[in-house]
Chains A and B, each alone.
Chain A
């Protein structure tokens, strides 16, 4: 399935591009994800997702297929397997930043998602909204973080993933349609990748001092 989200932020596009890579700011937008490895290209991690009594944990990898700073477009390919089942999750997340006439930036996120296994079968039709709302919430949080870029806010610490991502609590008011995990996985894997990039940048900064 395909999920689409768009939002605008009142900062120029090149600033928005930088902040999107500033993991400390956007990590709190998506609890439940952990980074486990990073070899310079591929990020390995896990995300635990909870829907009522059902919990699913995916472990997988994510890699940027495209990172074009000139046109400000990124494409992330992520895939994971259930840790306690035979299901899989595969996501292709395309993020596009566009400069607006008023000096702000339009951010568009298109997620192409495939979920297999029992969660997809059991979820019936009532799970898709969970994913929609989750990505929407993540996007809204991103928007806030991007708008905060100008202010020198103290950076919140990266949230440890002891708490599973409780889709129904974080998603707030009435939700639920098709499969909710797809979007959660996509968003979480984006986060996971961005976290590894931060580690890399930290290392670089350390070397240059």
Chain B
């Protein structure tokens, strides 16, 4: 279908974009790569009165270092994120998860900021960001603010961004040594959404896991950390069945849904199995 009518504006600076959003209020929507918004418009599920196209704001793109922090502009495409050498070195989990998003066409248009602002719990990028404890920087009429990933996602398709705020960059702390990571995604056909996905990052020394971060895709209204599993993994031996036992609690505190792809029970089962695989792979 063709989208419903809307007004269109293409600001050239973040300040102009924020002003346009403030004027549009609840009826304005940001357009980045369009890989989430355009399907909604074409299916006539969303009816924004004003579309603010931020694709022409150059300072929103790019990957750079800022001391101990890796900074990725919100408008950086998935394609850039997954092959950037700085991302691969300092946020390998994000690169790996981003590589599983949809297909190359979507990855060439879709952006990091767009995927996060859309806040789909079945998305791979939000889950990786939650596992990495990133900080999301938003700019609004009152200036910039930094939002921890753990607080950013509030509900299905909902984040703490106000209607007049624009996500401008994502900041990731550079991890120390000893970290391994893996993203395990279960889907029935290629390019599909994850039925369930697990992002695991593990710091190990001499055959022991010192600390672990495990986040789940599509196990609730937001990406969710498997805290019970993380706690059980602290101090666990890589060899033996410690990882399997820790993974058995992966679904605790989650609220998976039932749909055509899987029942809630099956999703819980997948979470446990995929967590074991992801942590084992991350622990090397």
Contacts and interface: CB of A to CB of B under 8 A. Distances in A.
B257 interface: yes
Contacts, number: 89
B155 interface: yes
Contact of B158 (A84, A125, A129, A168): A168
Interface in A106-130: 118-119, 122, 124-130
B221 A84 contact: no
B257 A118 contact: no
Given A53-B29, A54-B40, A177 B255 contact: yes
B104 interface: no
Nearest to A124: B259
Interface residues of A, number: 25
Interface stretch (B43-51, B74-82, B91-99, B175-183): B43-51
Nearest to A164: B26
Nearest to B46: A53
B46 A176 contact: no
Interface in B205-257: 218, 220-222, 255-257
A175 B44 contact: no
A55 interface: yes
A51 B156 contact: yes
Contacts of B122: 124, 126
A119 B45 contact: yes
Interface in B142-184: 154-158
A153 B173 CA distance: 55
Interface in B27-61: 29, 37, 40, 43-48
Contact of B155 (A118, A128, A175): A175
A177 B257 contact: yes
A129 B255 contact: yes
A146 B261 CA distance: 42
Interface string B94-133: 0000000000000000000000001101100000000000
Contacts of B190: none
A206 interface: no
B160 to A, nearest CB: 12
A128 B43 CA distance: 21
A56 interface: yes
A56 B155 CA distance: 18
Given A53-B46, A54-B40, A174 B221 contact: yes
A163 B156 CA distance: 20
Contact of B261 (A122, A125, A178): A125
Interface string A49-70: 0011111100000000000000
A174 B46 contact: no
B274 to A, nearest CB: 17
Contacts of B118: 53
A178 B258 contact: yes
5 contacts: A51-B157, A119-B45, A124-B259, A174-B155, A176-B121
Given A55-B46, A128-B258, 19 more contacts: A51-B157, A53-B29, A53-B48, A53-B157, A54-B45, A54-B46, A55-B45, A55-B47, A118-B43, A118-B44, A119-B45, A122-B43, A122-B45, A124-B259, A168-B158, A174-B220, A174-B222, A177-B257, A178-B258
Interface of B: 4, 29, 37, 40, 43-48, 118-119, 121-122, 154-158, 193, 218, 220-222, 255-259, 261-262, 264
